[in-house]
Every structure is written in structure tokens, then in C-alpha cells.
Structure 1
């Protein structure tokens, strides 16, 4: 059947373009958030949900709470084949589906396929109550053998969540999270990046490039930032840099609409403390800071060198930004390997807590500047 109504043709074209964009995002990130993609495309969340539902019915993707992920080979198995091969169902709760976490999820899915286990993914937020709600739903389904979670761990709400996780009747592995020493969580296991080591690598690199004033800009509300600040401070202390000469700023002030004023304040402090290089967590703030420096007439890296933490989009800047890159896919892979081993070996297996070293990807924003030539 054909139609001569140009409005119907245009509507179909727009739907096809949206769905191609959805697939592009999934191929690049492994997962998408309905809310984020709706904002990017300028359409309603209901429109994106309809697209996701239609594409899921076609077998192109998998629906998850709040978004979608790429399908894997296990999901393509027929219902007759799957029960005979699947060993365990593993619940996985991550705080975001549009930054950092898609690579962790991809790593988990790859290892799950090798281990013949199924990942049941839920996207949550950076809120302890929301984390608990999603985890509780998985536990209540009575179809989950173990959990991989990235919960809030700070504050009383985070501490209470950790205590509760430690009492669950199924094994729990934390991904990119740790239980603080003050919380008796003897049963919890985890695999996490040594972010303090990553920050120290960045400081060492900038020091070798001739910088003696090295600052740090990070959002204290991020679970990663405390480790980044700690590694930065330990590295400067080891290098003998006096504490009064250290620029340390909470990048939470870089949120719009106060970003320009905040970065102006940072640059004033850079001049006052003779800071010529800065480590910024995360990429979004690093890109915004580089652009603000350039708009202010400063050259990168001649006037100030920049290293980002996360390496999600740092390469897209001009100049490309040197970045600390956590091994995100390996975090997901090892989390699945760890919980599968726990389910297989039971109490005979000792509690495992693994830290992985990140890499430093050196680019134009931190090399060959004025400090290195002086």
C-alpha cells in the first residue's frame, strides 16, 4: 500500500532518522538513556520510548529501565536453547546509561557471554534511595542469583545502603565502588579503578613537563573525586610542593549558568598560586575549562596545561586533551568473573577486592608547553 500524503512520508523519515541516531549512540556507547536522547533530539521522552519499543520488537536492541542497550548473542538465542546454557542470572544496577558506565556494561556483557550467564540491567541515578529501589526489585523477582551494583557509598544514606547490601542472601559485587573501613561489610566484594594512582600519574607527567604549580579541579559530589583529590595531594606531598601553593577547587560550581564566573575565579587563583597545569575531573568540565581559557586569550598548553580524568570525550577537544583512562570494560568483565566464581565456589572462595590501574593517554594539551621549554 502506498500513500500520497507528504506528511506521512515526512513523519516516517523523521522516525527513521531518530532510530538511526539511536543505533549510532548504541554502537558508540553500548547503552542510551531515553531522557538524555530525547533532550538531544528535541523530542518527547514518549517518542523515544516508542522508538525503543519498536526497535526492541525488531530485535535491534534490548529495553532496560530508562533506556536501551545493544543486544548480545545470548539474547539472540531461542527460548528452547537458552535455559540449557544459561548458568546464572546476574542483576546489574549502574547510576547512568549515558556516561562512563556503557563501557562497564559492555565489558560485563562480553564476560557474561563467555560465562554463560545473563545480565539483567537496570539504570539508576546517583541517589541511595533510588539505588535501593532498583536493587530491591531485582531481589524481589526471585530470579537473580547475584548482584553487580554501583551504589552511592557516601553519607549516612550510602552507609546504610552498604550495610543492607551486606545482609542480602545473594552475593554482591561493587563496581567502581568500595565500602569504607568504618562500615563492617565483610561479605561485599568489589572491583574498582585505583583513581588515586591515576591522579598521581597525571601529576608525575605534568611535573616532568616542567610544571611546579599543579592544581586539581573536581566535583566533590562525584564518588570518584575523593580518590582523585587524594592521589593528587599525595603526589604533590611526595614532590615537596608546599600546601599553600596547591590550587584545589570543587568543580560543582562549573555548572551552568555560573560557569564563566567560576572559571574566571579559577584562573585568578591560578595566577595567585603560580599554577601552570591543572588536573580536571571529568571530561566535560575539562573541555569547558579549555574553551574558557582560550576565550580568555590563554594558550593551551603554553599558558596552562590540562589533563582530564575519565577519557570519554577528551580527544574531541582542540587541542586534544591528555587524559587518565580508567579500564572501564575490564571493571565490568572482572565483576562478572568475580561473581560467577563466587556462585560456583561458594563460601570456600575468599572475599576478593580488586583494584585496577588506569592508563595515561598523552595528547597535545599537556606536552611541549612553555614550562617544558624553560
Structure 2
């Protein structure tokens, strides 16, 4: 039976508002309709002021928080009383949009009611949201806590481990011996992602590499450790350094002067011919600063971004390590579905790691020295 037009357009709206942007071809594949049909729907939704069109791309007209609330309401209207599955992610965290979409697709295909909860940028913000979701009747939980530092993470261990409902961590890896060690989790193997970046640059002939990461997430901490270990032990890396990609963040921790220096100056001091930058938006801003100082990419310096959310939109498009964001959400939802269908303790906890890919674009080339 053909899907009603109104329902199909609602699904298009929900998909775009979950991710912020979506390609017309991807929407057609997901809805299993022709590209022409999706374009027709998008044109109508654009006339109504509910979407914005670009070249092959559709954008939401709502701010991220309002869009997420609407998506949550649409999902909730289809279910029974109570929140069957609660999903808790940080607000303004574009990296997790694709993960959220992957999880939501699996859960809704299984006929489950989904309630999205956005945690504000404050320590301990996830706990009250989870408690309210459980009080409302949630039977399971998918969660990606913000965890800007180890102390924040440790503060959440005890209550998360004692929830009493099936829970799966997304893009978070519990450390060994912690209360969450036996919790199901699905995440990207960021060590492997760091290795992809280093080997790509070394293979092009680069021997002096600067690494710069964010400071405020478990991924940033994992990447710093990975880059330090891989570059420090690599026989072909002559010199390397790590710094904060946003120097002003140095106030949040004990960093050296070099670790909070402006990246172009640090690159010159190191003699770096390549940089690896986490994440995409900061990487694009660094490339702009480099251009202002007459540093050409990739002629004078090769650039690899880490996240691949908007890296391909740069000028030049940035080579990027692309974690399997959507697949992390899908597998996390699959794990949760299995837990919801079986007796507690029926099988051991599972910790799944998925390998990122390297998307080679125009920002990397052999050094010219």
C-alpha cells in the first residue's frame, strides 16, 4: 500500500529536523521512493516555510532545540502511554545528530515509542532527565553523557549503573574497573581513527605533524592519548606536538604555554607540514586563520579533520576521519531491543567498537619541501 502523502512529508520533516540537513537522494533511499517524489514533497514543504532547499540538500528552518522537541513529539504521538525508550544526548552536539538518527530509525521500525531528552551544558544535567523519563514509564535508555572531564564522568557512574532498566551507552567507553564497566556500550574506535590520520600523512611524506583537539569530551581525551602514543612511537615521525584547537579553552585545565598557543605560530615553531584537527567546525576556522596568514592548504600544510560532519563543505574540502556515527546509533538501538526482549542477565554485557574510515579530499598532499 502506498504511504499517504501527509505521512511521508511528516517523515521527511522529522528526518531533516533530527539531523539539521539531509541530502534529497538519502531521503529518497530511506523512504524507498523516487528522488522526484522527494523533490516534489520538499518543494511543497519549502513553500509552507517548513524547510529550506539548497543544491541537492534540505535544511530545517527550526533551531536545533525546537526541532528536537518537535521530533520527540511526533515520535511520542505514535506510541502507548509512557516513554517506551528514552534517548538522552547533549544539546548543541552536531556530532551526535547522525547517531541519534540511526538509533531512532531502528527503534521506530520496531514500533517503539521514542522520547528525546536534550541535556543542557551543565555538569550533572543528564541525571534529572533520566529520572523524569523513568518516572514517566521508560523501559530502556540510550544515553551519550557530555562528560567534559573525568570527574564529571565518575560522578555519573554509580547512579547510571543502578538504574534498573536496560541501558546502552553511545559513543562512550567506560574505563576498566568502573561501575559502568559491565554496561552495554557502542562506540567508535578513535585510536584506529587517529592511526588512519597519522598513516595517511606519513604515507604522503610528512614527518612533522601538529595535533590539535577539543578539550571537553571523552572523544577529545581519547584522541589526545591516541595521537601522543602513535606519533611518539612512529619511526617516521620526526617531531610532533599536541595543542588545544581553541586556545581560549586553556582556562579549563593545567596546560603549558605551547599547548594553548595559536596554532599557526605553533606550526611554524615545529616546522609542521601537516595538522590533524578535532573537530570539523574548529578545523574549518583554523584553515581560515591559516589563509589569513598566507598558509596555503594543502600546498604549505596538509590538513586532516576529525569527525566529518561538515569537513567536506570546506574550501578546500577537508580530508577527514569519519567515525561510523549512524551505525553507532543503529547498533546501540539493536542492543537495547535485545535487552528489552530478554530476561535480565540473559547474556553478558557487550562493548562494541566500530572502525572509522578516512575520507580523502583536497586538503592533503605530499609536502613541497
TM surpasses 0.5: yes
Q: CA distance change for structure 1 residues 77 and 140 in 2, over 3 Å: closer, same or farther?
A: closer
Question: Residue deviations 1:210-242, cap 9 Å, x none?
Answer: 100111001122221111122222321342267
Query: If you compute each CA radius of gyration, which structure gives the higher value, 1 or 2?
Result: 1
TM-score by length of 1: 0.74
Residue 30 of structure 1, aligned match among 18, 42, 53 = 18
Deviation digits for residues 122-176 of structure 1 (CA, Å, limit 9, x no counterpart):
11134332111211111222x1001111114433332121221001111211111
CA contact (8 A) 1:128 1:158 kept: no
Q: List aligned pairs for 1:326-341, cutoff 5 A.
A: 326-341=323-338
Paired residue for 1:6?
none
Cα separation, 1, equivalents of 2:283 and 2:63: 31
SS at match of 1:323: strand
- Partner of 2:304, secondary structure, is strand
Q: Paired residue for 1:130? A: 125
Q: Cα 1:279–1:186, aligned 2, differ >3 Å: closer, same or farther?
A: closer
Q: Determine if the alignment matches structure 1 residue 147 to structure 2 residue 145.
A: no
Q: With the length of structure 2 as denominator, give the TM-score of the two structures.
A: 0.75
Structure 1: stretches of 5+ with no match in the other structure = 1-22, 33-53, 56-60, 256-261
1:302 lines up with 2:296 in the alignment:
no
Match of 1:107 among 102, 127, 147: 102
Return the alpha-carbon distance in structure 2 between the equivalents of residues 147 and 160 of structure 1: 18
Q: Distance in 1 between matches of 2:272 and 2:212?
A: 12
Q: Secondary structure at the match of 2:339?
A: helix
Residue in 2 that maps onto 1:233: 228
Spell out, residue by residue over 1:283-336, the C-alpha distance to the aligned partner (whole angstroms, 9 max, x if none).
111101111111111111111110001111111111110011111111111111
Q: For the Cα contact (< 8 Å) 1:306–1:321, is it kept in 2?
A: yes
The question of whether the paired residues in 2 share the 8 Å contact of 1:310 and 1:326 is answered with: yes
TM-superposition CA deviations, 1:161-208 (whole Å, max 9, x none)? 122100111121111112122423244111011112111100100111
The worse-fitting range, judged by mean Cα deviation, of 327-336 and 94-103 is 94-103
1:17-43 per-residue CA deviation (whole Å, 9 max, x = no partner) reads xxxxxx9996546256xxxxxxxxxxx
SS in 1 for 2:226: helix
Q: Is the 8 A contact 1:112 1:118 kept in 2?
A: yes
Determine which of 185, 196, 213 is the counterpart of 1:218: 213
Structure 2 gap ranges (5+): 1-10, 21-48, 51-59, 250-258
- What is the CA-CA distance between 1:344 and the residue it aligns to? 1.1
| Count of aligned residue pairs for this structure pair | 311
Question: Counterpart in 2 of 1:4?
Answer: none
| Aligned 8 A contact 1:221 1:252 in 2 | no
